[in-house]
Chain A
Amino acid sequence: MAQFDHLAEKVLRGFASRTSRRSVFSVLGGFLAGAAALPLLPVARGAEANPGSGDPNSGQTAPQESGNPQDPGDRTKCDYWRYCAIDGSLCSCYGGSVNSCPPGVEMSPITWIGTCRNPADQRNYIISYNDCCGGVAWGRCACQNNQGDRPVVRPQTNNEVTWCFGTKSQSYTCTVALILGVAIDQKK
């Protein structure tokens, strides 16, 4: 036992002679700060953004309302009226919006286009669904409404095609829904 005490004393004295109290606090502080930062890493976000978690919004995105009664609804939700013919992930859940891609992601100039009825005025609006390309696709806020979708034998009318054409990257990230105009009303 005395030998063990002697060995422990020798090790501790050696350690104390090589290090200062300040350096010990520095190392301990680094561990504490690192532990706090771990949940902020992209790996952790990816794990939370599991597309199979049930709620397509994953509870991570604050509601985005226009504040205009003529454009009602939450743009982070799949039932927002402009998404009637969408097949993809909502850019509103990626740091973008219904009109813009997330930062650093490129909007495809080649699009698929449909019409959706605005519940506020019961008119049909022409909507361009532009894919945003070049970022990471977490599968967040997946939304498939597919109104007017056609079989893939008519690829130009099939919205399962990834429309990342004319962009630097063909890697799909999410989709926006731009209003191009009001459709001419049908006669009954």
Chain B
Amino acid sequence: MASLARIGCAAAQTPVIEQTPAPDAPAGVVNAQRAWQNWTLNCRGCHRPDGTGSADTTPSLAGTVAKFLWVPGGREYLGRVPGVATSPLADADLAELVNWMLWRFDREHMPSNFPPFTATEIGRLRTRPLRLEASTIRSELLKKVEESGPP
């Protein structure tokens, strides 16, 4: 194949990449450059470079995504939300990407005792992807977040 060409907000193939840890990699991110690339090829097109998304179609990550970790069911939601669960990435790359996105777009709301997602956990969660109910569940979880506040 002449290149790794991929189209769209999501991509279809997983490049095999060097495993050198980046110096500023957060917990659960082996290679921040790889995580950035997977974000760019799989998520950025719709979520926009700053993670703010579009109100009607693509929920914002910026300043929001880590709040799901505050309430029961939120962690599971992050592994089952369609954009994550149906991603073409392998479990390990996907777990690293989710950990990186939490840190990149909403580190201020990450619980101090946050255990990073693992490939095993993501692999288990993505077997039950959310579909049309995703937006309803998201709204319910954010309501709980509003009520509970930070842990």
Contact = CB atoms under 8 A, between A and B. Distances in A.
Interface in A139-188: 146-150, 154-159, 161, 165-166, 180-181, 183-187
Interface in B42-62: 44-46, 48, 54, 57-58
B2 A115 contact: no
Nearest to A147: B5
What does DSSP make chain A's interface, helix, strand, loop or mixed? loop
A124 interface: yes
B79 to A, nearest CB: 19
B58 to A, nearest CB: 8
B59 to A, nearest CB: 14
Contacts of B64: none
The residue in A85, A154, A156 that gathers the most chain B C-beta atoms within 10 A of its C-beta is A156
Nearest to B8: A157
A85 B6 contact: yes
Contact of A112 (B4, B7, B12, B57): B7
Given A110-B46, A112-B45, A186 B6 contact: no
Contacts of A149: 7
Interface residues of A, number: 36
B112 interface: no
B11 interface: yes
Contacts of B15: 183-184, 186
Nearest to A148: B5
B54 A165 contact: yes
B16 A113 contact: no
A156 B8 contact: yes
A150 B17 CA distance: 23
B37 interface: yes
Task: Indicate the member of B12, B13, B46, B54 with the most A CB atoms within 10 Å.
Answer: B46
A114 B46 CA distance: 13
A126 B37 contact: yes
B7 A159 contact: yes
Given A113-B44, A126-B40, A184-B18, A84 B12 contact: no
A124 B6 CA distance: 12
B40 A150 contact: no
A68 B5 CA distance: 23
9 contacts: A112-B9, A148-B3, A154-B12, A156-B45, A157-B9, A181-B40, A185-B18, A186-B4, A187-B16
Interface of A: 84-85, 109-117, 124, 126, 128-129, 146-150, 154-159, 161, 165-166, 180-181, 183-187
Interface of B: 2-13, 15-18, 33-34, 37, 40-41, 44-46, 48, 54, 57-58
